[in-house]
Each structure stands twice: as structure tokens, then as C-alpha cells.
Amino acid sequence: MDPTDAMISYQLGWLYDELGRYDDAIAANEEAECLNPILMPYAMWNAAVSYLKKGDRQRAMDNLREIPPGSWWEEISSDSELTPLHTEPGWLALVTEKTGLAAKSRP
């Protein structure tokens, strides 16, 4: 398998999201994750954004919960596209768990 296949799927996921094709974006990110597990945190993050944009806050949070702790969590916690989740009951606990730092609630 060509290692670039995963990156192509990942980039397609981002493009589909920008075009408002959220189901296609989610599918492409899931494919990228399967093709190259190294992309998992980023593909899950992108899929969470797509779930949120289609109005499924619970699936967005579920996707984020699957992402392991790591340096990417600093970016995830400050991603403006995820701001609507900052008022979710489990947001602060999730970010604190994944970063080891207290998260700030943003209005």
C-alpha cells in the first residue's frame, strides 16, 4: 500500500469539510486513520469538527474522547471550530484529562 494514500484521504477529508460535505469528510478521515494510524489523532479531530458542523455534538465529543493524550491536544483545545463544544458538560474534564492542565472555559 502506498503511504501517500492515507495522506490523500486525510486531505480529501479536509476538502470535503470545507465544501460542506460532512459525511464524505468523516468517511475520508476514517479511511486515513485506517490506512495510517499515525494520522489517527488528526483524522479523528477533523472528523469531530465535521460531526459538529452537521449538528452532532455527541459524536464530535465521542471522537475527541478517542484521541489519546499528546501534543495535539493543545491545538485541539484552542481550535476555534470546536468552540461550540466548550459549553458541553464534559469539555473541561476531557481537555484536563488529555492535557494534564486545567482547561479554560471560553464563552
pLDDT digits (tens, 9 = 90+) for 24-52: 999 999 999 999 889 999 999 999 999 99
Using the structure block, give the residue that is written with the C-alpha cell 492515507.
Answer: 6
pTM of structure:
0.87
pLDDT at 107: 46
The mean pLDDT value of the chain amounts to 90
C-alpha grid cell for residue 82?
470546536
Between CA 73 and CA 58 the distance in angstroms is: 19
